[in-house]
């Protein structure tokens, strides 16, 4: 009897493996920051020579910031660009700001125009011919009850502390705020926002973002977090930062010592491709998690970068390995100059379909469409409820079996 049960279990195990056979066949071919380690290191040494910089300088986030690549001349020494591409970058650069840290540039395959890191960081001619995009499709300008605050929900809000980023994403949804000049908000500019939070007692969750929240100095962050700690109804704080991806050097022991004094504090970041998860990222997430900071990822679904179920699954697996919990996948919005990244909603639904059941629940984020004009994040799911009658519902399992389920 026992033997027979085990036989059934073994047969089922074979069937289960069959379910992911397509992923098993490709997973090791999807590049990650680890599998590309040697190439990334070579790139880094090459870039260090161009800058004539030391290892110590390279590992210093302020050096990385002060030496961001902003000129075609420098970029063309680091990655291979045709004359036409160089011209395009100059034209686009007039309209939309671009800059990338030498670190992020070292993740780019210099000879591959389709490289997923390059597509996120290097201007492309397609930005110019966007017919669809609007500057502020979210109507953020109409959901600001106080300066530097965006409030779209009953119990939480965003406070914008800077327009600065380590890298200006080509798919940036807040492009209109990214000027040509980097400015962190001063204490005096942030005071009215803090005053609004102090007097609005239903606000229990404050998201500090920008730009990139970790562009603030350690001292400013310490000040702002202390101010928020002193507001009794603020239960939790979150930082929105892409530095884990674009400038992991920003995560220093000193920063973690400061952040660790302001719990409960969460950080959400934005990895979009497994190639972004490098050894430096592991070091940074190790410091942050040891300081007690839970980490989440808000990916953006981007055409030609990650609109593929296998790539997304790999990304979520690699994130869990560095202790980042996949939180959201955002459907890309039609922001001026970024529409070429927009996928069809079916791409997102297929990704979700191929996650649930096929992999750990921990590796499954929520797929979100942002309703226009700041009407809120809206989850989109494959349909698992097939039909409903008076005393039963029909469900579909992850494998596609339909089952009648009592509902009395």
Ligand X SMILES: *Cc1c(COP(=O)(O)O)cnc(C)c1O
User: Which long-range contacts does 173-176 make (Cβ < 8 Å, 24+ apart)?
Assistant: 173/138, 173/300, 173/332, 173/333, 173/335, 173/338, 174/140, 174/211, 174/335, 175/96, 175/135, 175/335, 175/336, 175/337, 175/338, 176/135, 176/136, 176/336
Closest to ligand X by CB, 100 vs 161, is 161
DSSP-based three-state secondary structure for 11: helix
Segments of 176-235 assigned E as strands = 205-209
CA–CA gap between residue 292 and residue 7 (Å, rounded): 45
Task: Work out how close the CB of 297 gets to ligand X at its nearest, in angstroms, rounded to a whole number.
Answer: 12
Among 121, 207, 299, 302, binds ligand X (CB under 6 A): 207
User: Binding to ligand X by residue 77, rule CB under 6 A?
Assistant: no
Closest to ligand X by CB, 121 vs 169, is 169
Closest to ligand X by CB, 240 vs 309, is 240
User: Binding to ligand X by residue 256, rule CB under 6 A?
Assistant: no
User: Binding to ligand X by residue 239, rule CB under 6 A?
Assistant: no
User: Binding to ligand X by residue 216, rule CB under 6 A?
Assistant: no
Task: Work out how close the CB of 11 gets to ligand X at its nearest, in angstroms, rounded to a whole number.
Answer: 42
Task: Work out how close the CB of 361 gets to ligand X at its nearest, in angstroms, rounded to a whole number.
Answer: 18
Using alpha carbons, select from 209, 178, 212 the residue that is nearest to residue 338: 178
149-150 vs 376-379, strand pairing mode: unpaired
Closest to ligand X by CB, 157 vs 245, is 157
Task: Work out how close the CB of 398 gets to ligand X at its nearest, in angstroms, rounded to a whole number.
Answer: 25
Scan for tokens 């011209």, then name that residue.
87
Task: Please list every residue from 117 through 176 that binds ligand X, using CB under 6 A.
Answer: 150, 152-153, 156-158
Task: Work out how close the CB of 181 gets to ligand X at its nearest, in angstroms, rounded to a whole number.
Answer: 25
Tokens of 148: 């530097």
Residue 162: phi, psi to the nearest 5? -165, 160
User: Binding to ligand X by residue 266, rule CB under 6 A?
Assistant: no
Closest to ligand X by CB, 17 vs 377, is 377
Task: Work out how close the CB of 175 gets to ligand X at its nearest, in angstroms, rounded to a whole number.
Answer: 16
Residue nearest to ligand X (CB): 152
User: Binding to ligand X by residue 325, rule CB under 6 A?
Assistant: no
Closest to ligand X by CB, 39 vs 146, is 146
Task: Work out how close the CB of 351 gets to ligand X at its nearest, in angstroms, rounded to a whole number.
Answer: 19
Closest to ligand X by CB, 165 vs 207, is 207
DSSP-based three-state secondary structure for 203: coil
Task: Work out how close the CB of 377 gets to ligand X at its nearest, in angstroms, rounded to a whole number.
Answer: 5
CA–CA gap between residue 280 and residue 172 (Å, rounded): 24
Among 37, 49, 204, 377, binds ligand X (CB under 6 A): 377
Instruction: Judge contact between 235 and 187, C-beta under 8 A.
Output: no
Closest to ligand X by CB, 158 vs 255, is 158
Q: How many residues bind ligand X (CB under 6 A)?
A: 8
Closest to ligand X by CB, 64 vs 150, is 150
Scan for tokens 């920003």, then name that residue.
250
DSSP-based three-state secondary structure for 110: coil
CA Rg value for the chain: 23
Cβ atoms within 10 A of the Cβ of 334, count? 16
User: Binding to ligand X by residue 62, rule CB under 6 A?
Assistant: no
Task: Work out how close the CB of 366 gets to ligand X at its nearest, in angstroms, rounded to a whole number.
Answer: 9
Distances in whole angstroms, Cα of residue 201 to Cα of each of 196, 225, 253, 276, 400: 9, 17, 34, 39, 47
User: Which stretches of the chain bind ligand X, using CB under 6 A?
Assistant: 150, 152-153, 156-158, 207, 377
């Amino acid at each position: 009897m026992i033997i027979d049960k085990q036989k059934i279990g073994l047969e089922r195990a074979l069937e289960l493996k069959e379910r992911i056979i397509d992923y098993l066949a490709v997973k090791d071919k999807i590049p990650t920051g680890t599998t590309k380690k040697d190439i990334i290191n070579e790139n880094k040494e090459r870039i260090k020579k161009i800058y004539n910089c030391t290892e110590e300088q390279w590992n210093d986030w302020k050096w990385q910031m002060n030496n961001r690549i902003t000129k075609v001349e420098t970029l063309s020494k680091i990655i291979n660009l045709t004359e036409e591409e160089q011209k395009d970058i100059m034209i686009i650069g007039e309209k939309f700001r671009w800059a990338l840290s030498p670190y992020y540039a070292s993740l780019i395959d210099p000879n591959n125009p389709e490289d997923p890191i390059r597509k996120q960081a290097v201007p492309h001619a397609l930005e110019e011919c966007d017919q669809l995009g609007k500057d502020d499709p979210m109507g953020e300008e109409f959901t600001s009850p106080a300066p530097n605050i965006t409030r779209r929900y009953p119990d939480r809000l965003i406070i914008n502390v800077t327009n600065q980023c380590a890298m200006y994403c080509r798919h940036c949804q807040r492009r209109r705020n990214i000027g040509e000049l980097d400015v962190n908000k001063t204490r005096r500019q942030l005071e009215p926002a803090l005053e609004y939070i102090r007097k609005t007692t239903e606000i229990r969750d404050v998201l500090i973002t920008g730009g990139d929240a970790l562009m603030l100095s350690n001292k400013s962050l310490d000040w702002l977090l202390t101010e928020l700690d002193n507001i009794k109804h603020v239960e939790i704080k979150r930082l929105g930062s892409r530095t884990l991806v674009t400038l992991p050097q920003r995560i220093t022991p000193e920063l973690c010592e400061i952040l660790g004094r302001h719990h409960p504090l969460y950080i959400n970041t934005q990895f979009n491709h497994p190639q972004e998860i490098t050894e430096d990222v592991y070091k940074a997430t190790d410091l942050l998690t040891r300081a007690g900071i839970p980490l989440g990822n808000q990916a953006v679904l981007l055409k030609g970068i990650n609109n593929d179920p296998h790539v997304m699954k790999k990304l979520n697996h690699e994130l869990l390995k560095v202790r980042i919990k996949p939180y959201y996948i955002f459907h890309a919005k039609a922001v001026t100059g970024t529409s070429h990244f927009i996928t069809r909603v079916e791409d997102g639904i297929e990704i979700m379909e191929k996650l649930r059941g096929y992999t750990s629940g921990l590796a499954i984020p929520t797929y979100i469409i942002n309703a226009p004009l700041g009407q809120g994040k809206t989850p989109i799911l494959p349909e698992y409820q097939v039909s409903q009658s008076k005393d039963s519902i029909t469900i579909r399992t992850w494998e596609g079996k339909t089952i009648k389920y009592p509902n009395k």
